[in-house]
Amino acid sequence: MARSRQKTLADGLGSHRLGQAATKESAVWPAHCQRGACQQLASAIDNKREVTGYSVFCDREVMIPRSYTSQCCNFARLLKQKISRRGIFICVSFCLIIWFGPYSSLNVICAAPVQKQNEEPSVAPVKGNPCTCQNPPETSKEPNSVPPRADCDCPAITPSEDSNASSEQEKKEPAHDQKATETELEKALQEYKRQITRVTTAPSGSNGLLRKTKDYHGNFFEYLRNDALDALPHQVRQANGTKSVLRRNQFGFNLTGPFRIPWLYKGDGKTFFSVTYEGTREKIARPFLSNIPTSLERNGNFSDLVDNAGEPVTIYDPVTTRPNPKFDASQPVSLSNLEYLRDPFPGNVIPLERIDPVSLRAVAYYPLPNTNVGPFLRNNFFANSAETNTPNGTVWKLDHNIGKRHKVSWNGRFSNGLDGPAPVFDNIANPGTPPRRVRSRSTSFSETFSVSPTVVNQFNAYAAYSALVNELKGDPSANYARDLGLNGVGPGAFPRFDLTSYVDIGAPPGSLVRYQTASYVLSDGLSIRYKKHNLKIDSYAYWGQVNTFRPRNPSGRFNFDGSLTSLPGINNTGNSFAQFLLGMAGRAEQSIVLNPSYFRSEQYQLTLSDEYQITPNFTCNFSLGLQIDTARREKFNRQSSLDLKLLNPVNQRPGALIFAGREGRPRTFAPTQANWEPAISWALNPWGSRKTVIRGSYALSFASFPLYPTDFGTLGFNASPLLVSSNEQLLPAATLDLGFPQDFIPPPDLRSAAANDIKADYFEPLGILPYEQNWRLEVERDLPADFVVRLAYQGERDIHQYMGDGIELNPLSPAVLGFRDQLNDLDFNLSLRPYPQFRGISPGYGYPIGSSSFHRGNLRVEKRFSHGLNFSLSYFFSKSIDNLLGGASPQNSSDLKVEKSLTPYDVTHQVSINYLYEFPLGEGRAFLNQGGWLQGLVGGWSLSGVTFFRSGTPVGLKPLFNNTGHVAEALRVNVVPGIDPHVPHPSASQWFNPAAFDQPPDFTLGNAPRTEPTLRNPGAQNFDMSLTKRIPVTEDWSLELIMEAFNSFNHANLNNPDSLIGSKTNPNLNAGRIIGSSGGRVVQLGLRFSF
């Protein structure tokens, strides 16, 4: 929600002495300007909330909101008439750029510089789409002036209802009082002077210039949130918890003015500065609900263990495993035809002497259950701990005028702070993301030089640095693995234990990460205006660096899925925590990182564009860019990948490890890419009425090679030993009491077989880069009473998108599912893969074979600001389809086309409403305009808000069990023919009909799509509101009191339904049921003092 940021029109016209001209001369209002419109302008801007992205370019930038278009047109005409008498340059033509989103932006550009003698030419307009500007200004009568320019640099023509006032209508109205006219003009100019002291926060390269004033201006602000003001969040109430902690203080200041050094330098009129500081101190509770072991289970007693249908679950003793002499290999494994026999623990209780001592010590770090939201002892742990954030940031800016045509600017940004996610456990075994210490620095320099009135060059240099260090709780020198009795892994973090259906325990992967990034950019833009053409040449060079130290699992990671305590081949038996108590891991891995990695890459771009005004009503912008990208390289060539054609020395099968910069290989694993990026946009005023504008555009753009802070692709220089059971249903990969075996070659290991028997990293060797095509068409029409309506369509098509590292490039074909339980034998399983020497092949950053499409229609109705009211209503109708997985695994890596479906975040319908209403009370208003204390009490109030309604995202269903022998890592469900998945009246007790779906039989794939096209999760709605009271202390000092309410009506948005589908014999009774809701009103109080 936009906060109230009271700003008045600013001080930059002091150098024009325009206010003096207005008061000393008689003012004659032009025919196209109504006194009421300028009254509204002065009053509205005086009380306008924060405005960004709006600018009027005269000889400096002025922030004016889009909603004042009509009034601004009249105001500019008034200024034009007054200033032309004094021979001073002013803006006269207005153009509009309107984009999608809850707010639109207005760039009002000077059409023609009426140049004074010895005055610099105008600065080139900001980059935008082409437009046709009507009614160019008359040529100035001043000597040495240049002809006006009838074109500008944006795609819209902003009509003005007030500008249609005819001279006949003016004759019918009584003449304005002379003194009143001067007073209104003076008031508007005074507000104008104040507003232009706002300092642009655009990055280096923008055309915003610091406003020049002889005085200092600034503000101080404080925003406060406290849970004492808030409603109890719904998810906390449902868990019988107490009110969530919320403490948030956001504070800072801004100061701008001329740069002066006492007795040394006085920068009035030449050098200006701005300094901004903002700090935040925040503690916000993050509710967490999940499953942890019960008190009985912690001691090995599973007598109360039941499945999702409430049926008892039996725990089997893995040491009693033996072949079944009666097994019929010609028939599938079933309860009546078991391949292996295994005895249950008596009473479903594991004897204490069988509990692994490492597990017993680790269990002590689990908290006890504290709630029971779901049935059958599910969702028995609720945490409401707080995340802690303490960012601090400053922005420094200096602008200096070297000469009339030469300006330079410097910008520096500095920030640091703690990003502390909410812990799940309040101890060293916390499985959540650890706190992160973040630091960033950036600086930029820009130079703008007007070679001539038609040639402008702008040079920019930029450098940025950032660093992140994770801060684990506890002693960084401690060896927690040794304290647990776990041998063979490194120190630094608590070992990670992953348990299916329970909260994991231990430090998550990457907990000890630390990295630094740096980027350097040089760019230059040359703009040449020739007749009806505005030619631009833009060049860009980027150098990126990432220095990272990222041991993913320095103290080991052990997986327990319950297979060893189940009846082999039978679902719904066994338990992961029981397997953990026995200390039998089905998978184990650790990371050994010897040295940090120093990654580098570059990007270069050259773009030529021509903005061509073909006719007065039709303008086109053509551009063509050449982008050159280099792939990632490592400073010391410590990179590796697989060559899938090179024979492996162990088995003489294709696929062996190779190293960058060695044996004649290049330093990168992909060639440098050069790609063309064309674009075209146009704007048409079909009837010349300035009320209707049609715009269109098309562009093709390429992504760059990613440069991430990861240890991916460093195998051989670092090590990732991996232990996998030879048969995960029969034997463990490792036992905790014996620790992690040390029968591996420590790094560095630069053999071509160093990736054998582990999961290898692979870079796609062709260097295919993702690219995007987007197109757009919109029609905008101005209506009476300051209304605007816009109808638009936007499309996007993405090709060769990265699929994510969940893709398995060494997959099993679905054709092998006929081997059934034999697939659980590791050696047999690997023998069926294309590259049997590798346990898996990961593309890391992703494999460039994904695609997506997006289509959206938008109807927007807006009422521009008048009579104290401004609002907009937007309706979006959209559809998003892709086969991207975002790091998740597909059902079948051999056929990724079947992953195509509605995206998990697809939202069909969305309505967004924004509004601002200034109460008609107090000075200059319709009511209680008598002065005195009552006027001060009731005046200066405004109400604003943002409201949205959106439909739900598609439901993604998953089976409760997956028994496919690792053919499908992400199994789908089956659709049951003839059963409607919808229910007549969806509610939390039954959102959809789970009987319409079934769990696939063992060793078969599901036939349902990744997301269900006709089933939607619950939608959401939200109302954010802000009430502001502005108190003018003096003419230049003001105070704002702000109260904001997020989710003002304390509306509860339902959670998504349980999407796990069981079998007909072992159903999930929670399927289709919604457990709980989220949301709660949050109140923020603000105070802002401006001078």
pLDDT at residue 140, rounded to an integer: 34
Which is higher by pLDDT, 6 or 238?
238
Which is higher by pLDDT, 136 or 327?
327
Average pLDDT, the chain: 81
pLDDT for residue 501 is more than 50: yes
What's the rounded Cα separation, in Å, for the pair 756 and 238? 51
pLDDT at residue 184, rounded to an integer: 32
pLDDT at residue 14, rounded to an integer: 32
Q: For residue 971, give Cα distances in angstroms to 117, 500, 792, 903, 958.
A: 77, 16, 39, 17, 7
- Tell me the three state secondary structure of residue 444: strand
pLDDT at residue 186, rounded to an integer: 37
The type of residue at 945 is G
Radius of gyration of the chain from Cα atoms?
A: 34
Q: Which of the four pLDDT bands, split at 50, 70 and 90, describes residue 662?
A: very high
What's the rounded Cα separation, in Å, for the pair 968 and 958? 12
pLDDT for residue 912 is more than 80: yes
pLDDT at residue 376, rounded to an integer: 64
Whether 816 and 893 have beta carbons less than 8 Å apart is answered as no
pLDDT at residue 75, rounded to an integer: 42
Mean pLDDT, range 357-369, rounded to an integer: 96
List, for residues 520-532, the tens digit of each pLDDT value. 999 999 999 999 9
List, for residues 166-222, the tens digit of each pLDDT value. 333 333 333 333 333 233 333 333 333 343 333 332 333 333 333 444 688 999 999
Mean pLDDT, range 764-768, rounded to an integer: 92
List, for residues 639-656, the tens digit of each pLDDT value. 999 999 999 999 999 999
pLDDT at residue 238, rounded to an integer: 74
Q: Give how far the C-alpha of residue 542 lies from the chain's centroid of Cα atoms, to the nearest Å.
A: 22
Q: Where are the alpha helices (DSSP H) in 801-861?
A: 826-831
Identify the residue whose tokens are 């560095």: 748
Q: Where are the domains of the chain?
A: 12-198
Q: How many CB atoms lie within 10 A of CB 1076?
A: 19
Of 230-234, 506-510, 942-946, 960-964, the one with minimum mean pLDDT is 230-234
pLDDT at residue 375, rounded to an integer: 65
Whether 499 and 577 have beta carbons less than 8 Å apart is answered as yes
Q: Which of the four pLDDT bands, split at 50, 70 and 90, describes residue 340?
A: very high
Which is higher by pLDDT, 750 or 46?
750
Give phi and psi for 1055, each to the nearest 5.
-70, 170
Q: Which of the four pLDDT bands, split at 50, 70 and 90, describes residue 928?
A: confident
Strand runs labelled E in 11-169: 55-57, 61-62, 107-108
310 Cβ contact partners less than 8 Å away, ≥ 6 residues apart? 375, 376, 1069
Mean pLDDT, range 902-921, rounded to an integer: 95
pLDDT for residue 58 is more than 60: no
Which is higher by pLDDT, 998 or 287?
998
* pTM of the predicted protein model: 0.77
Q: Which of 37-46, 189-198, 819-828 has the highest mean pLDDT?
A: 819-828
- Tell me the three state secondary structure of residue 651: coil
pLDDT at residue 214, rounded to an integer: 60
Helix (H) or strand (E) run with residue 47 in it: helix 35-47
Rounded to 5, what percent of the chain is helix, strand, coil?
Answer: 15, 35, 50
CA-wise closest residue to 199 among 432, 434, 395, 426: 395
What's the rounded Cα separation, in Å, for the pair 993 and 980? 7
Burial of 1004 (0-12, 13-18, 19+ CB in 10 A): middle
Q: Are strands 107-108 and 55-57 parallel, antiparallel or unpaired?
A: parallel
CA-wise closest residue to 876 among 897, 858, 863: 858
